Structure 1
């Protein structure tokens, strides 16, 4: 499994737990029966009630185990759709990451929940069924937030239905801030650095600031590049990419990383993996770090007091603006399966993203304890109707839509080269940012750029 897939596994698995965990078929999808793609939907699209012929959906699930709520809701669906049978196949990690390979191998499911990051690749590959004939005939479709719908609408074709949105925010430990006498949240990189110095306490193994340094460094690093006013790649109108690893904003972000390291406010152990950082944050050993809303319950499960978890927008960089990523998951239908299976897959998707299902799902999560401050994909639902979150959470979630964006173009292909450069800069005090990113861009261009552009031309 590549670093890219492992990363997406972590993000998507957390999202699915918070949004769809109650259903054992959270990434449900059906196996490809080898049927040909049909350009004309059958009569039973939308909400029509006639019973189609029996159909079996082979769905990918992360586990066969279900809680009582999941079993109840699945039974409700099957009872109301007697022509549909579910054949569950366990797929470890994030099933959505393997959808592309499964389509190529001819054994793909009929539908799957895909991370936002993978959608660009999948939409270009022609493996996703346009959903217009379904959503246009569904009376709940107008309640979905247009911002997230438009992300996956191409030339008027709806290629995916968002089922969960979790923005990358900035987490801080309120107890550590109070102990250090910090009363104002940092608004800029420079302010964040000064706050980190006040919190930093090597004698107690507390680091004022933390970021990924041992793996997937491109994940967090891209936010700093955006905050500095640039990007790591540029998407052309024809779908091809230009690499901008040497953009001045990239170098500014790299220099800020080196400053954090030079001032010794980063975690002292740069070999810590992603889950280790979350553990350290939960243990009160990290003052602040990039932090997603759907990690709140994770940190609490590791022993952190809910009242100690602060969330804010990331501090602004040299551009004077803040910027971050919008992550999430999207239901898609396999364009290569039979029309009957497409129709049945839509019925299953429609059920799981209905207002009734989502309401019951969040009520079930709330009844069991801590929830996550995530962005609702539906405008007729509010996360605060289910959980008693601090007022600052609501403000941050409201503001993040204006500063959030999808991850940098081609990240799945080019990210590993950024990762290597950032790791070198953090571990070698003498490494020069410009030289390291020039070398990274040259290597990426020689190894993957041409093939990426060939596949991406529209």
Structure 2
């Protein structure tokens, strides 16, 4: 409620600013939704691009601008990197001065997006070109396009696997457990690092549910409509059984309570850890900590499903300020950045939203794997899964029951894995009945 009030105040301030500007100037900037020129010879002037990437704004982004200027020599591109991106942009959005191109803050309510951002095209125009554009769409118009499409699974050290004698990459839970055992038996590396102490890292496991289910429909369509969410044979049961079995068999770190996220990245990079369950966003971070980045690989999460599906999700969406006075140049930058910078792969640790782009090199061996976004909820059931989760205090995207599973597996709790799953399913059934009555 407080967030909504904040945005209402921001909208009011923006309206006042717009009225004052209209009274004091003769216009000059194109109106929202007006057709924008794409002819390079017509595109001139200066634009400002806001970014959250304080680490590469003075290096990589300047290289991008130089390449962009080879096609658009009459456009000057300025960059502003913001450390507290969400907070600082929200303040600036109370005026018209929030750059020409920027990452759309995730806190902006979807319904309010047209008040701040220029449409980049209609859904019908862009759906065959870009992936995951539905997230920032209003009334059939697309206002943002993902800068990076991330994927989830297992990040592993290839050299450790080789030293352990693993000659074929594991595909099923049984094969994965066998591979972890080989790492333990034949190397000094930790087979599976849970990052228990961080808490948030354990939530990354939930992203692999579609892979275990073998269906893009399961999470948002099937799951909210079943009372058997954590029973044996169902995706949640099978997903977290992988974690439980690894911990039970001594294939994780010796003392999970002392894990450290920052050092774990270096340890995976340098062969002290064999595997971690993470999103692709972590790949470039880990590769950056070794002089042999080629040793870092990706595995789809182990599954018994006949179809191997790796779920895709969108990072920040790039958009255009509706008040920009140089929309042709802003649009040209967005199009170039998405199509030609290779930011998604080289800096974002994922894949491009451009459907014509090739898979990143780390995925070359997975031509038979389906990389796909999830099916949205049925009409009228939007948000139902989250309501059930919250009502039952289950915490699908919280670390609590994942920690509970690890603690039970290593003997710090007296309950069994089936006890935990039954408790979670009982909560799910009760909450679902309450929410859907």
- TM-score interval, smaller chain: 0.5 to 0.7
Question: Which of residues 132, 142, 161 is equivalent to 1:158?
Answer: 142
User: Is it true that 1:145 corresponds to 2:125 in the alignment?
Assistant: no
Tell me the equivalent position of 1:396: 366
Write the distance in 2 (CA, Å) between the matches of 1:129 and 1:397: 41
* Cα offset, 1:264, TM superposition: 0.9
Tell me the equivalent position of 1:353: 335
Question: Contact between 1:167 and 1:292, CA under 8 Å: does it hold in 2?
Answer: yes
Bigger radius of gyration: 2
User: Is it true that 1:286 corresponds to 2:256 in the alignment?
Assistant: no
User: Is it true that 1:331 corresponds to 2:321 in the alignment?
Assistant: no
Q: TM-score, normalised by structure 1?
A: 0.63
User: Is it true that 1:378 corresponds to 2:354 in the alignment?
Assistant: yes
State how 1:366-445 maps to structure 2 within 5 Å.
374-382=350-358, 389=361, 393-396=363-366, 399-402=369-372, 410=386, 418-428=398-408, 429=411, 430-431=414-415, 432-434=419-421, 437=424
- Tell me the secondary structure at the aligned position of residue 204 of structure 2: helix
Question: Contact between 2:153 and 2:298, CA under 8 Å: does it hold in 1?
Answer: yes
**CA deviation digits over 1:68-89, x for unaligned, max 9?**
525646888997357xx9684x
User: Is it true that 1:209 corresponds to 2:195 in the alignment?
Assistant: no
* Cα offset, 1:399, TM superposition: 3.0
* Cα offset, 1:315, TM superposition: 1.5
- Output the aligned Cα RMSD: 5.3
State how 1:95-244 maps to structure 2 within 5 Å.
95=85, 97-98=86-87, 102=91, 109=98, 112-114=102-104, 118=106, 122=108, 124-128=110-114, 134-135=120-121, 145-150=129-134, 152-153=136-137, 156-201=140-185, 205-214=188-197, 215-217=199-201, 219-229=203-213, 235=220
Question: Which of residues 71, 80, 88 is equivalent to 2:74?
Answer: 80
Pair 99,410 (structure 1): closer, same or farther in 2 beyond 3 Å: farther
State how 1:286-305 maps to structure 2 within 5 Å.
286-303=273-290, 305=292
Write the distance in 2 (CA, Å) between the matches of 1:107 and 1:440: 48
Question: Which of residues 5, 11, 14 is equivalent to 1:35?
Answer: 14
Write the distance in 2 (CA, Å) between the matches of 1:125 and 1:133: 13
Write the distance in 1 (CA, Å) between the matches of 2:115 and 2:365: 36
Write the distance in 2 (CA, Å) between the matches of 1:377 and 1:226: 20
Write the distance in 2 (CA, Å) between the matches of 1:372 and 1:228: 25
Question: Contact between 2:114 and 2:138, CA under 8 Å: does it hold in 1?
Answer: no
Question: Which of residues 58, 67, 92 is equivalent to 1:66?
Answer: 58
Write the distance in 1 (CA, Å) between the matches of 2:113 and 2:354: 26
State how 1:1-12 maps to structure 2 within 5 Å.
none
Question: Contact between 2:308 and 2:369, CA under 8 Å: does it hold in 1?
Answer: no
Write the distance in 2 (CA, Å) between the matches of 1:99 and 1:410: 29
- Tell me the secondary structure at the aligned position of residue 396 of structure 1: coil
Question: Contact between 2:217 and 2:375, CA under 8 Å: does it hold in 1?
Answer: no
Structure 1 residues not aligned, in runs of 5+: 1-30, 454-458
- Tell me the secondary structure at the aligned position of residue 166 of structure 1: strand
Tell me the equivalent position of 2:252: 266
**CA deviation digits over 1:212-260, x for unaligned, max 9?**
42311453221443344399996589xxx88979543323333332221
Pair 324,266 (structure 1): closer, same or farther in 2 beyond 3 Å: farther
* Cα offset, 1:443, TM superposition: 12
* Cα offset, 1:192, TM superposition: 0.3
Greater alpha carbon shift after TM alignment, 345-354 vs 263-272:
345-354
- Tell me the secondary structure at the aligned position of residue 113 of structure 2: coil
Question: Contact between 1:417 and 1:444, CA under 8 Å: does it hold in 2?
Answer: no
Pair 127,340 (structure 1): closer, same or farther in 2 beyond 3 Å: closer
Pair 267,383 (structure 1): closer, same or farther in 2 beyond 3 Å: same
* Cα offset, 1:425, TM superposition: 1.9
Pair 433,221 (structure 1): closer, same or farther in 2 beyond 3 Å: farther
Pair 61,221 (structure 1): closer, same or farther in 2 beyond 3 Å: closer
**CA deviation digits over 1:382-440, x for unaligned, max 9?**
467xxxx4xx7323377342487799965998857632111122124434323653687
Pair 49,280 (structure 1): closer, same or farther in 2 beyond 3 Å: closer
* Cα offset, 1:265, TM superposition: 0.7
Question: Contact between 1:255 and 1:433, CA under 8 Å: does it hold in 2?
Answer: no
Write the distance in 2 (CA, Å) between the matches of 1:164 and 1:183: 32
Structure 2 residues not aligned, in runs of 5+: 1-9, 20-30, 378-382
